[in-house]
Amino acid sequence: MNNWRHLFLTGEFAPRAHILSGLTLEQVSTRPTGAPHSIFEELWHAAEWQRLTLERDEAALERWEGGVQFPPRPAPEDEAVWQALVRSFLSDSERAVRLSQNEAWLESDETELSGFTWGNALECLVVHSAYHMGKIVLLRQLLGVWSPPPENAEAP
């Protein structure tokens, strides 16, 4: 088993593809009573942070930390925007898994924080993503549209 694949895509809880599948535009756009964000907003945030981290776009990361960290509206413009966001998140998760196969890269210290390796960055990223995936599962439960994946389900 590839530990990074397990952490980014398939393990510890429901496969990420399952968490993000079978949702209507209305469902991903709804903020249940008391919830600060919609499913769309949660995924947008997780996907954007993942992309910025993997690209090490330091200027964008600095703007992010001092600025808006969620999209301006709780809903995507249309189904195509939602599906593109799902594909982007899962694709960048796959990209993180591919990058993790290079042991020298994982141990390299190319981030701007001295002693903070790419392996450390991936550890932080996987925890951040898991947090937001858990929030999406809860939102689905509140909306009454969650069904656990079949046992031993794997992401495509």
Q: What is the C-alpha to C-alpha distance for residues 60 and 143, in angstroms, rounded to an integer?
A: 33
More confident call, 13 vs 131: 131
Q: What is the C-alpha to C-alpha distance for residues 79 and 101, in angstroms, rounded to an integer?
A: 34
Q: What is the C-alpha to C-alpha distance for residues 31 and 2, in angstroms, rounded to an integer?
A: 35
pTM exceeding the 0.75 threshold for the entire prediction: yes
Highest mean pLDDT, choosing among 60-64, 122-126, 137-141: 137-141
115 belongs to a structural domain: yes
29 belongs to a structural domain: no
57 belongs to a structural domain: yes
11 belongs to a structural domain: no
Q: Which domain holds residue 46?
A: 36-63+76-146
25 belongs to a structural domain: no
pLDDT of residue 72: 83
18 belongs to a structural domain: no
68 belongs to a structural domain: no
pLDDT of residue 156: 43
pLDDT of residue 137: 97
Domain count, the chain: 1
CA distances from 90 to 2, 33, 47, 76, 114 (A): 16, 28, 9, 17, 29
- Cα-based torsion angle of the residue sequence 23, 27, 31, 33 in order, rounded to the nearest 10 degrees: -110
Q: What is the pLDDT of residues 92-118, one digit of tens each?
A: 999 999 999 989 888 887 655 566 788
pLDDT of residue 96: 94
